[in-house]
Amino acid sequence: MTKNTRVDDGTREAVATCRRELPDVITPPRAVLGFDGFVDNVREVVAERQTPESFESMSELATLGERITTSADARSSVTVEWTGKGTRTGGLTCHLARALLGLGAHPVMIGAYGEPERDIFADEFAAATRYSYGAPNDTDAVEFDDGKLLLVETGATRTLDWETLVDTVGVETMATHLDGADLLGIGYWVVIPSFPDVLTGLREDVWPTLSDPPATVLVDPGDIRQLAPDGIREGVDPLRQFADVAPVTLSANRAEMQHLSSVLGASGTTMAEAASTVRDEIGLERAVAHGDDESVVASERVAAVAVPHVDEPTMTTSAGDHFNVGLSLGLHAGLPAPAAVCLGNVVAGVFVRTGSPPTEPAIRDFLDRYLDAFGDG
């Protein structure tokens, strides 16, 4: 059983438009992706161990929080056992590249993949063009049915600035890759303290040289709740200036969008209000917020698309990145913003149910069955 019982007219319209206007062949965008890089150790928490080989997993993040709070109140330490579910590359550049490669694209990746580049990146992304400026971030990604806990040891992203990118890649090389590209995907501000400096370098040194700049610049800030409010406010100005010369779409999850909206001075609490504030205050092409129950886009108008619930997800880490893949596919295909958001929900929905980047048949199958998941097909 799912917790969704009804679906609104806006969702029906977005799904119908996506079905009707999605091309017969999904063509992935020519993409340049920067500037993060992670190695994710995916883990699950043991709630109760029965035998050396069997245990019950902790399914809810809130349960872990309660265990920690109870121990803290008792002035006691807490022991948490976890077990590994595998190691993989992560971050915006890797998750988007993996999905785009699976759909036949050959993206350009600029990120922290090791110096020299680690085999885990070189092997998986051999079909992509890659530039690495330093060591990746190492993450323990602890998964729950209702969320995840990410414990990150930052690598070279902590010291990345525009000068580093110029020395590693070069302005002319970046311009060559971006001229004629369809998509520039950028993430994550939270692990790149000099993120605003990178945006300024792109705006001042690269964008004026482009004759055919990307039609979409997708910016994912990551969990900026970790950043000081003053730092966010200072960083918004370079983002605003970049949005003056480039069509920027900011994509974030519910909590991230609401936090950014709050830092910008808004009092609204809903995803729609937060996305509208962020778009208007920064001057974005669009602001998109995604959650486990609905996703919202603020562009010429505000629209929400309900998300089919899944009781037992296979993988939640990088669900947001896979939403960004679907959103980018939709925008590249020329879909209206709500339909593109619907496609974001579709790609994320396939991923959390299977743990793998979706194939085109899987995307179309999920889209065809989208409303059925609400008992409203």
Q: What is the pLDDT of residues 202-250, one digit of tens each?
A: 999 999 999 999 999 999 999 999 999 999 999 999 999 999 999 999 9
Which structure tokens are listed for 165?
């990118």
The full 3-state SS of 207-257, as one line of letters, equals HHHCCCCCCEEEEECCCHHHCCHHHHHHHHHHHHHHHHHCCEEEEEEHHHH
pLDDT at 4: 47
Give dist(CA 82, CA 57) in Å, integer: 9
pLDDT at 10: 96
Q: Give the tens place of pLDDT for each residue, 56-88.
A: 999 899 999 999 999 999 999 999 999 988 889
What rounded mean pLDDT belongs to the chain?
94
Which structure tokens are listed for 23?
């091309």
Give dist(CA 372, CA 367) in Å, integer: 10
CATH class of 9-70+81-374: alpha beta
Which structure tokens are listed for 169?
């890649």
Q: Give the tens place of pLDDT for each residue, 3-24.
A: 444 789 999 999 999 999 999 9
pLDDT at 377: 46
114-120 LR contacts (CB < 8 Å, sep 24+): 115/156, 118/39, 120/39, 120/87, 120/88, 120/89
How many CA atoms within 13 Å lie on the side-chain side of 342? 28
pLDDT at 280: 96
Quote the DSSP letter at residue 93.
Answer: H
Which structure tokens are listed for 186?
């950028």
Report, as an integer, the average pLDDT of 100-106.
Answer: 97
Map tokens 């886009």 to a residue: 297
Give dist(CA 93, CA 349) in Å, integer: 20
pLDDT at 318: 85
Q: What percent of the chain has a predicted confidence (pLDDT) above 90?
A: 85
Residue 189's pLDDT band (cuts 50, 70, 90): very high
pLDDT at 376: 52
pLDDT at 105: 97
Q: Please check the confidence at residue 296 and state whether its pLDDT lies above 70.
A: yes
Quote the DSSP letter at residue 88.
Answer: E
Task: Enter the pTM of the model.
Answer: 0.90
The ranges assigned to domains in the chain are 9-70+81-374
